[in-house]
């Protein structure tokens, strides 16, 4: 049983394949956290003690202060001075929040999170629901714990139900609280910006509150919602690591707070700065789903837990089962300068090179000849496509290649027909100027009329057009967040309602165009999150396609997300064959595509690309579904090295890329394929060289020549 309740001690124990999580109901009131770690660890009831200046209830005595014991959920204002997960204001106006334990029940599979993306269930998935109640506001609170046994993942979310007539205002909402018993951790985060996504930061935590967040209405490249805590000595293969994430794509807050006792509180959720919600009588509110995993064997196991979880429960099933197409994307090749004849020629050459799909990027609609106009007008530009979209797409397909198209549904240029017709459909605040970004404004996705309009226009434009792929972009963040469609008391709900509108439209796309895949994007990897992954097959990892930068960007994405989610393009190598080879070897760390002007490529370059696509199709499934092992981290040394292994461990795709800083004669450490069978031999099908399993287990060393663009790729298959 993955979930157990011991009546004597009132202890709930949740177990996954290798981990256990436990809490106790103390005094019939408080859910007290006891344990999260190895399955074999000792779980015992909380031993209460006194700390001066800590508030307590007279009935329980001074050893039971909510400020001291570890909590499963922390409430604001009722004796716990640490950061809170829930703050509610009822009709009496104060924000003191307090709920008492009431009951529990089990659910087979998952509990529904209406309107938000969530992890899918499966045979090994069970949910525990703890119900709490507050007699003052009349609210019920459900805390959900969903156990994904095989992945060593537990997810958490909360649900509030207002049972009375009076409104209750949710002022802060975090999807999970985890109180760890010490403060001996480093915090790992992925920070950055546009063109510079997912730098890896590792810092010891300190007394006080350290957080990552987005106030931008998108999960953002500034901080990815993935983060981890690990012991100070943790490495790829050793040490305790706790990994966290949130199935959400909008503004968020993740906090790590060390208190006076040297305990560490971890929370992630909607926070309070970009969120406030009026819960009317009879209504219910459900938070996004938070994700936790624990590894006793370093970062590698944490990443593999997350990868398994994302492949098994987050990504659409067909995105995991089916090969992802090798696309040729027109953006870096043409920018806005596209038309039918040019792209049909692109399609013809692409098919010859073995690409699966032509993706027509920005510039095909309205007056979109640059980024100052046309956004919002989703009808094909008649000058560029004289016989309409369908006739153009049919011509592309006749070349033997499938077709994808770029859209940015959430945005609008002030210079557009749509804006002229509906200026009130943008996010804005009365009496204040509205900021531009990339010359565009943000549509009010919290307004049902906007969503209905978008469904109508896209249904019309793509009616009968055989589209196989949508690239869904989002190229600015949200400012002056206000909606003309909501009353003043609900204006602080707009960030959250916007996100729900985006999800509704994504869901509609998947239902209306069931044969098309979605690739999401936000100025590159600006919404690289589990929320988006529930709708799309993959995410454009960055607008920065330089392979030297991609080495570290891809490595850090793999901390929390599998390679199947990562769209990686080979961009223009000029006539430099070595550069093309290197770009390819880096790009096959994820899902391959190309982004270059195929009409300008020389015959030798095209011949190499044909070989590459042919080769890639043979081992793509290893990258998409294989287990990932990192052997060298580019943040620590002058090269990156990893391999993907199939389930039977009979095939490995091994990649090593030297950074620009690798000096001539530099020799790597032995790169050990520890999953190799020492009694077998393996053939590298790319070079035809044979290696003994023992040799691979002991590790191969590689020497840098000091020249530019040096990478090794081996596809090792057991004989
Ligand atoms: C963003 C995307 C690019 C491209 C442009 C088009 O920057 O990340 O790949 O689609 O928009 O405007």
pLDDT digits (tens, 9 = 90+) for 18-62: 999 999 999 999 999 999 999 999 999 999 999 999 999 999 999
pTM for the model: 0.98
Q: Which residues of 236-279 form beta strands (DSSP E)?
A: 241-247, 252-258, 264-271, 277-279
Quick one: average pLDDT of 146-150? 98
- Atom of ligand 1 minimally distant from the CA of 521: 8
pLDDT digits (tens, 9 = 90+) for 268-299: 999 999 999 999 999 999 999 999 999 999 99
- Atom of ligand 1 minimally distant from the CA of 595: 9
Quick one: average pLDDT of 464-469? 98
pLDDT at 507 over 80: yes
The residue annotated as part of the active site, out of 183, 356, 473, 581, is 473
- Atom of ligand 1 minimally distant from the CA of 524: 8
CA 346 to chain centre: 32
Cα end-to-end distance, the chain, whole Å: 40
What spacing in Å lies between the alpha carbon of 583 and ligand 1's midpoint? 20
The pLDDT value given to residue 65: 97
pLDDT digits (tens, 9 = 90+) for 361-405: 999 999 999 999 999 999 999 999 999 999 999 999 999 999 999
The pLDDT value given to residue 394: 98
**C-beta separation of 546 from 572 below 8 A:** no
What spacing in Å lies between the alpha carbon of 475 and ligand 1's midpoint? 7
What percent of the chain stands above pLDDT 90? 100
Overall size of the chain counted in residues: 719
The pLDDT value given to residue 633: 95
Pocket of ligand 1 (CB under 6 A): 331, 361-362, 406, 473, 475, 521, 523-524, 540, 543
pLDDT at 460 over 80: yes
pLDDT at 681 over 90: yes
Asked about 439 being catalytic, the answer comes back as no
Confidence of residue 683 (pLDDT cuts 50, 70, 90): very high
b/e burial code for range 160-191 (CB count within 10 A of at least 16 → b): bbbeeeebbbbbbbbbbbbbbeebbbbbbbbb
CA 159 to chain centre: 22
Q: Whose CA is nearest to atom 2 of ligand 1?
A: 523
Residues 6+ apart with CB under 8 A from 600: none
Q: Whose CA is nearest to atom 12 of ligand 1?
A: 362
By most ligand atoms within 8 Å of CB, the mutation choice from 368, 473, 519 for ligand 1 is 473
Confidence of residue 190 (pLDDT cuts 50, 70, 90): very high
Quick one: average pLDDT of 431-439? 98
Partnered with residue 5 across adjacent β-strands are 12
The pLDDT value given to residue 631: 98
The pLDDT value given to residue 75: 98
Mean pLDDT of the chain: 98
b/e burial code for range 314-337 (CB count within 10 A of at least 16 → b): bbbeebbeeebbbbbbbbbbbebe
pLDDT digits (tens, 9 = 90+) for 563-617: 999 999 999 999 999 999 999 999 999 999 999 999 999 999 999 999 999 999 9
pLDDT at 1 over 80: no
The pLDDT value given to residue 524: 97
Asked about 688 being catalytic, the answer comes back as no
């Amino acid at each position: 049983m993955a979930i157990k309740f011991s009546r004597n001690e009132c202890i709930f124990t949740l177990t996954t394949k290798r981990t256990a999580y436990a809490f106790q109901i103390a005094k019939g009131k408080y859910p007290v956290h006891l344990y999260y770690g190895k399955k074999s660890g000792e779980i015992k009831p909380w031993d209460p003690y006194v700390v001066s200046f800590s508030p307590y209830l007279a009935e329980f005595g001074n050893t039971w202060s909510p400020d001291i014991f570890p909590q499963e959920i922390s409430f604001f204002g009722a004796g716990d001075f640490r950061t809170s997960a829930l703050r509610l204001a009822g009709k009496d106006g104060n924000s003191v929040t307090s709920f008492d334990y009431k009951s529990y029940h089990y659910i087979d599979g998952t509990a529904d999170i209406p309107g938000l993306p969530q992890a899918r269930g499966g045979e090994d998935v069970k949910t525990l629901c703890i119900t709490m109640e507050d007699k003052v506001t009349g609210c019920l609170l459900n805390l959900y714990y969903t156990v994904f046994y095989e992945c060593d993942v537990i997810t958490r979310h909360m649900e509030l139900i207002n049972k009375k007539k009076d409104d209750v205002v949710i002022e802060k909402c975090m999807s999970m609280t985890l109180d760890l018993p010490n403060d001996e951790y480093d915090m790992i985060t992925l920070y950055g910006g546009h063109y510079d996504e997912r730098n890896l930061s590792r810092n010891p935590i300190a007394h006080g509150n350290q957080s990552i967040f987005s106030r931008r209405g998108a999960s953002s490249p500034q901080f990815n919602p993935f983060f981890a805590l690990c012991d100070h000595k943790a490495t790829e293969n050793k040490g305790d690591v706790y990994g966290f994430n949130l199935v959400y794509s909008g503004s968020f807050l993740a906090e790590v707070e060390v208190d006076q006792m040297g305990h560490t509180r971890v929370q992630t959720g909607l926070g309070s700065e970009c969120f406030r919600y009026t819960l009317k009588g009879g209504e219910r509110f459900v938070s996004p789903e938070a994700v936790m995993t624990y590894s006793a064997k370093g970062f590698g196991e944490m990443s593999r837990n997350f990868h398994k979880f994302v492949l098994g429960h987050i990504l659409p099933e067909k995105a995991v089962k089916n090969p992802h197409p090798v696309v040729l994307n027109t953006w870096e090749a043409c920018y806005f300068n596209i038309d039918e004849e040019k792209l049909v020629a692109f399609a013809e050459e692409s098919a010859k090179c073995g690409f699966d799909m032509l993706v027509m990027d920005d510039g095909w609609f309205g007056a979109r000849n640059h980024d100052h106009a046309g956004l919002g007008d989703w009808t094909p530009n008649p000058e560029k496509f004289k016989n309409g979209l369908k006739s153009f797409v049919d011509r592309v397909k006749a070349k033997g290649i499938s077709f994808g198209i770029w859209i940015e549904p959430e945005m609008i240029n002030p210079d557009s027909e749509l804006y002229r017709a509906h200026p009130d459909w943008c996010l804005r605040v009365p009496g204040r100027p509205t900021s531009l970004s990339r010359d565009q404004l943000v549509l009010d996705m919290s307004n049902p009329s906007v969503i209905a309009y978008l469904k109508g226009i896209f249904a019309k434009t793509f009616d009968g057009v055989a589209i196989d792929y949508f690239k869904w972009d989002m190229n600015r963040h949200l400012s002056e967040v206000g909606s003309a469609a909501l009353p003043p008391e609900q204006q602080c709900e707009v960030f959250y309602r916007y996100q729900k509108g985006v999800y509704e439209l994504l869901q509609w796309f998947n239902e209306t165009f069931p044969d098309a895949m979605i690739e999401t994007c936000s100025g590159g990897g600006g919404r690289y999150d589990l929320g988006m992954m529930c709708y799309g097959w993959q995410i454009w990892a960055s607008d920065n396609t330089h392979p030297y930068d991609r080495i570290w960007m891809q490595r850090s994405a793999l901390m929390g997300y599998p390679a199947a989610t990562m769209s990686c393009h080979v961009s223009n190598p000029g006539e430099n064959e070595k550069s093309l080879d290197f770009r390819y070897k880096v790009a096959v760390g994820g899902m391959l595509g190309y982004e270059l002007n195929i009409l300008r490529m020389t015959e030798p370059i095209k011949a190499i690309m044909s070989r590459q696509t042919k080769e890639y199709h043979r081992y793509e499934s290893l990258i998409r579904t294989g287990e990932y092992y990192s052997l060298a981290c580019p943040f620590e040394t002058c090269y990156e090295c990893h391999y993907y292994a199939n389930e039977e461990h009979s095939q490995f795709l091994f990649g090593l890329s030297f950074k620009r800083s690798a000096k001539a004669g530099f020799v790597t450490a032995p790169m050990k394929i520890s999953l190799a069978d020492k009694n077998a031999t393996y053939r590298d099908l790319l070079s035809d060289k044979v290696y003994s399993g023992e040799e691979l287990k002991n590790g191969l060393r590689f020497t840098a020549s000091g020249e530019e663009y040096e990478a090794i790729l081996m596809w090792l298959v057991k004989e």
